[in-house]
Structure 1
Amino acid sequence: MQFIYPMLLEQADKPFSDGRYVFEPKIDGHRLILSRKNGVTRLYTRHNNDVTDKYPELITDGPDIVLDGELAVMDPDTGIPDFELTMKRFQSKRSQLPISYVVFDVLRYEDSDLRCLPLLERKAVLDQAITDTPTMSKIAYIDGRGEDLWDAIVARDMEGIVAKKKDGRYHADKRTDDFVKIINYCYADVNISGWRKGDFGWLAHVDGRTVGVIELGVPPTHKQAFFSVAKPLITGEDRDFIYVQPLIKARVKFRNWTKSGMLRSPVFANFILSA
């Protein structure tokens, strides 16, 4: 069976419209490569982990093919991809949560490697290669009007959008501006209540409790500024963390609040200066 490392996405800070691109909703799940050869189907994560046994619903007959898409579980009330439900299905051997495999690219079809073709030609092959079912479907896209799609995505509180050049080729395991993601981040103001002793991370504190660890987006100058004033604020430590009075404030951007009230993937934006 053939595994192809998926193409990665560059990131832009804000939505845009451009006639050279098509725009797709960003599905909040996990990347999944489907590879079928001689009637045998295998499923892989983006890191080449075989997860075929986790999703027997996707083992079907059909032509030799390699597909790239996102595996998600939809919120039953909103119909929107739910990352926590997706992870629950992924991590459990017993979960029967219904899955949706949203396919956005075809990399091989029968005896042909399609990665050198422009995106819209690959989309045309994909339209002919698979038929939408409740379990597997082709992603919808809009031509050129990224800001219109963005407004609809924000209104539904979805993850974001992906811009793809119409003539873009598929570059396995690389980032180029042929694929660009724009994330619909949430923002929160937090207090920093400590830091991790091992790999870098600040404890984020809101309303008297820890809501996550800030690992990403902190420039070296900001780390230096923090540690230059934080040591006099130390209140204690344990095996993993050193704790401080939560007097230093920061703004973070993050994907969403989890059902347990934690920040999902918080990224440092800036310090908040006291008045």
Structure 2
Amino acid sequence: MFISPMLLETANGPFSDSRYIFEPKIDGHRLIYSQQNGIVRLYTRHNNDCTRQYPEITSAMFPHDIVLDGEIACVDPTNGVSDFESVMSRFQAKKADKIARLTTELPATFVVFDVLSYKGEDLRSLPLMERKSLLASLTLPSPSFGVVPYIEGSGEALFEQIEARGMEGVVAKRKDSVYVSRRSTSWQKIINWSYADVYITGYRKAEFGWLVSVPNERGNLRPAGIIEHGASPTHKKAFYGVVAPLKTNEDREFVYVEPRIRARVKMRNWTKAGNLRIPVFTEFIV
């Protein structure tokens, strides 16, 4: 049984509030776990069935029907932090032999933060802390399951710890929040952004996108990704107003320009390939 998940609004920054609990944000992908009549099904937030990708999760059974909300994580044993690229390797595996191999090489953990249904009873109208109490009382069926820890009130202190460990961020949830299948200000995320200064080296001809590069260890520029978010209409107008003389080449999709325009971006982190992960434009560097 798929339940469309409750989604997060974005907070302006870290905060503390006794009306909230604060959880570490797990760097993985959202998962709805459904066990009905002895059959387990796993769903992404967009209702895509990913049951076969995680045999270590689907092979474990609770004693009763249950629907859980959480994240799939692949924890790096060297630092205890979930690695998003490893999670994507697991999620994108389709062939049975590759899935079996990755189950050993990149074991997944289902990190649970909410229980939506239990023994056939819909719990979504209960306050969050009542659902948390039930979740804490459950016996997890295998070591491939975990529960997201939380603290009450002290969001800023938790965010400092998250920053120090290089984790993704913090989630703030109102203690009295009911579970709704939409985006809600009752649940908010505070991202632990990283920042980088980049050169804009091209732009898409169709929908918005700025190609960016960064210096390598020898000082030469190398491609580092594409900015698709953050630029306001004013920023775009300013860019396209000055970029024409800088054009060097083009193809079907992109126009390439001299690396004269610099920008600052915020991002989740650097990928293993050295690219910016989900870069967001913040400002031009003049």
Q: Same fold (TM over 0.5)?
A: yes
Look up the equivalent residue of 1:91 and give its one-letter code: Q
Give, in angstroms, the shift of residue 228 of structure 1. Answer: 0.5
Look up the equivalent residue of 1:181 and give its one-letter code: K
Q: Is the 8 A contact 2:57 2:109 kept in 1?
A: no
> Matches of 1:227 and 1:262 in 2, distance apart?
24
Unaligned runs of 5+ in 2: 216-220
> Matches of 2:3 and 2:139 in 1, distance apart?
19
Give, in angstroms, the shift of residue 235 of structure 1. Answer: 0.5
Residue 145 (structure 1) aligned with residue 154 (structure 2): yes
Tell me what 1:222 maps to: 235
Q: Superposed, which structure 2 residues align to 1:179-194 within 5 Å?
A: 179-194=187-202
Tell me what 2:218 maps to: none
Query: SS state of the match for residue 132, structure 2?
Result: helix
> Matches of 1:13 and 1:101 in 2, distance apart?
29
Query: SS state of the match for residue 251, structure 1?
Result: strand
Write the deviation string for residues 149-189 of structure 1: whole angstroms up to 9, x where unpaired. 101111100000000000011111x1111100000000001
Tell me what 1:269 maps to: 282
Q: Is the 8 A contact 1:233 1:244 kept in 2?
A: yes
Give, in angstroms, the shift of residue 45 of structure 1. Answer: 0.5
Give, in angstroms, the shift of residue 13 of structure 1. Answer: 2.6
Q: Superposed, which structure 2 residues align to 1:200-239 within 5 Å?
A: 200-207=208-215, 208-239=221-252
Write the deviation string for residues 120-169 of structure 1: whole angstroms up to 9, x where unpaired. 00101112234274210111000100011101111100000000000011
Write the deviation string for residues 11-35 of structure 1: whole angstroms up to 9, x where unpaired. 0131000000000000000000001
Tell me what 1:125 maps to: 134
Write the deviation string for residues 81-115 of structure 1: whole angstroms up to 9, x where unpaired. 00011111111241221111100001111121111
Residue 247 of structure 1: which of 256, 260, 276 is its match?
A: 260
> Matches of 1:131 and 1:34 in 2, distance apart?
13
Moved more, 36-45 or 190-199: 190-199
Moved more, 132-141 or 204-213: 132-141
> Matches of 2:167 and 2:43 in 1, distance apart?
25
> Matches of 1:135 and 1:61 in 2, distance apart?
11
Tell me what 1:87 maps to: 88
> Matches of 1:156 and 1:127 in 2, distance apart?
25
Query: SS state of the match for residue 13, structure 1?
Result: coil
> Matches of 1:181 and 1:132 in 2, distance apart?
29
Q: Is the 8 A contact 1:154 1:184 kept in 2?
A: yes
> Matches of 2:185 and 2:112 in 1, distance apart?
20
Q: Is the 8 A contact 1:132 1:138 kept in 2?
A: no
Tell me what 1:37 maps to: 36
Q: Is the 8 A contact 2:198 2:212 kept in 1?
A: yes
Tell me what 1:78 maps to: 79
Look up the equivalent residue of 2:260 and give its one-letter code: L
Look up the equivalent residue of 1:58 and give its one-letter code: I
Look up the equivalent residue of 2:147 and give its one-letter code: K
Residue 3 (structure 1) aligned with residue 11 (structure 2): no
Aligned residues: 271
Q: Superposed, which structure 2 residues align to 1:38-77 within 5 Å?
A: 38-59=37-58, 60-62=60-62, 63-77=64-78
Look up the equivalent residue of 2:83 and give its one-letter code: D
Q: Normalising by the residue count of structure 1, what TM-score does the alignment of the two structures yield?
A: 0.96
> Matches of 2:141 and 2:164 in 1, distance apart?
26
Give, in angstroms, the shift of residue 197 of structure 1. Answer: 1.7
> Matches of 1:55 and 1:257 in 2, distance apart?
26
Residue 100 of structure 1: which of 99, 109, 132 is its match?
A: 109
Q: Normalising by the residue count of structure 2, what TM-score does the alignment of the two structures yield?
A: 0.93
Q: Is the 8 A contact 2:61 2:141 kept in 1?
A: no
Residue 18 (structure 1) aligned with residue 17 (structure 2): yes
